[in-house]
Structure 1
Amino acid sequence: MLKRIDTWQIPDIGPVAVETSDRARYTRITLKRSGEVKLTIPAMVSLDQARRFFDSRIAWIKRHRRDFRGLAEMPVAGWSEARDLLFDRLRELAARHGYQFNKATVKNQRTLWGSCSHRNNINLNVNLLRLPEELRDYVILHELVHTRHKNHSRAFWHELDGLVGDAKSLQRALRRFRLNA
């Protein structure tokens, strides 16, 4: 069970909620999109030990907060418009690069940007519209490549690299955008 035991005011960081947990095995720092910083400590760790740990990670916190990006506002008015925009882009990229898929669905998912089933059904997250266009296209192309390669093999990454350039750097950039934060 989590129990808040203190709130620290840290210069250049702001308030830090300090919580203890009977279940925690390690000291953990959590950064939220809202800017909230939380320190969770195991029950047997003292506040002095926790503070030393936290102070040793301040540069890491600042670096990750700077890199941490929230999603933009939804650029469309309604669900059907969002679905149409994503379907149109999916069909356009599939036709341009010679991919075929069975059917497509747009969902409001909490953890996945997209997925491709073994039957080549593609699911896209409506929140893709809140990403920069380059990352939106990366996700769509990633799922289209899965219609040929059902895993993340070397052949998969080679084909995706041929479409987007440096797929691994786009994958890293996408990780900076959080769906469930």
Structure 2
Amino acid sequence: MPGVQLEFRLDAPRRPAASVPGSLRVAGRDLPVEYVRHPRARRYVLRLRPDGAARVTIPQRGSLRAAREFAAQHTGWLERQLTRLAPQQVRDRRWRAGDAILFRGEWVVLRVTHDEVAPVVTFAGEALHVVDPAGDLRPAVERHLRGLARRELTTRVFELAAAQNLPVRRVTVRDQRSRWGSCSRRGTVSLNWRLVQMPPAVRDYVIWHELMHLREMNHSARFWRLMAEVCPDFAQARRWLRQHGEALR
């Protein structure tokens, strides 16, 4: 049996390969598990993602059955890591007046004021009405950010695609927990609304990454050469995502 490895990761989500979904009973609940085969992997790797789901990487000569057995053998490890993760999930769940959030790559403070209609939340020139200014502001602020993202990201995708004569047919902006974006062979680009929270250069990197899949539907050396042509500083953007990606969750 190939070697094994356990990892507890709180870094930026990566674009997943084709996977097999599953679940595992851990600490009295069903934990989502994603089984992903990787041709260059040499061992079974079990990771706990920031969203509380598990991911098992299967080496080239490994089997799905062995991967499931491997995960089942390490439920104790998963339970311990879930215990570590729980306080961070609770801490990050609510946004209140005075909290700072990322917006266009900058930390901005949520402030509450009042006008003649209702309480208003303001940040970085944005303003929106809320019902309960003393409560959780996150649902209202996220709805506002999603609206901005749909307008801005759609426009930006078509701008960049036109610059390279790429055949984009449709753009969707969604709430994606495990990836920043995706691209289909038919020209549909799907993006995570949280791109509006990133610096413009990092946002563009993610968009270019998906657009280049219209020319190369993999992550081969040719793909990264194409990326270097349209986004020469992509390494800096990837570094930013590794360092700050979790703050966007």
Question: Which bracket does the TM-score occupy, shorter chain normalised?
Answer: 0.5 to 0.7
CA distance in 2, matches of 1:168, 1:109: 23
Which is richer in strand?
A: 2
TM-score (norm 1): 0.59
* Contact 1:161-1:167 within 8 A present in 2 as well: yes
* Contact 2:148-2:196 within 8 A present in 1 as well: no
Aligned counterpart, 2:195:
128
Q: Residue 77 of structure 2: SS of its match in structure 1? A: coil
Aligned counterpart, 2:225:
158
CA distance in 2, matches of 1:114, 1:146: 11
Q: 1:71 to 1:178 in 2, by over 3 A?
A: farther
Aligned counterpart, 2:131:
none
The residue type paired with residue 120 of structure 1 is: G
CA distance in 1, matches of 2:199, 2:155: 17
- TM-aligned CA deviation for residue 168 of structure 1: 3.0
Is residue 214 of structure 2 the alignment partner of residue 147 of structure 1?
A: yes
Which of 237, 240, 245 is 1:170 aligned to?
237
CA distance in 2, matches of 1:71, 1:112: 18
Aligned counterpart, 2:162:
95
- TM-aligned CA deviation for residue 34 of structure 1: 8.0
Q: Residue 24 of structure 1: SS of its match in structure 2? A: helix
Number of aligned positions between the proteins: 131
Aligned counterpart, 2:177:
110
TM-score (norm 2): 0.44
Q: Residue 246 of structure 2: SS of its match in structure 1? A: coil
The residue type paired with residue 24 of structure 1 is: W
* Contact 2:149-2:195 within 8 A present in 1 as well: no
Which of 76, 82, 85 is 1:23 aligned to?
76
Q: Runs ≥4 in structure 1, deviation > 4 angstroms? A: 27-36, 73-77
* Contact 1:90-1:140 within 8 A present in 2 as well: yes
Aligned counterpart, 1:40:
none
CA distance in 2, matches of 1:170, 1:83: 22
* Contact 1:110-1:179 within 8 A present in 2 as well: no
Q: Residue 86 of structure 1: SS of its match in structure 2? A: helix
Q: Which runs of 5+ in 1 are unaligned?
A: 3-20, 37-69
Q: Which runs of 5+ in 2 are unaligned?
A: 1-25, 28-73, 93-100, 109-122, 129-143
The residue type paired with residue 152 of structure 1 is: H
The residue type paired with residue 92 of structure 1 is: E
CA distance in 2, matches of 1:34, 1:138: 31
The residue type paired with residue 76 of structure 2 is: R
- TM-aligned CA deviation for residue 95 of structure 1: 1.0
Q: Residue 191 of structure 2: SS of its match in structure 1? A: strand
* Contact 1:71-1:178 within 8 A present in 2 as well: no
* Contact 1:157-1:167 within 8 A present in 2 as well: no
Aligned counterpart, 2:11:
none
Any idea what the Cα deviations from partners look like across 1:73-123, whole Å, max 9, x if unmatched? 687663444311111111111112222212111101112111011222110
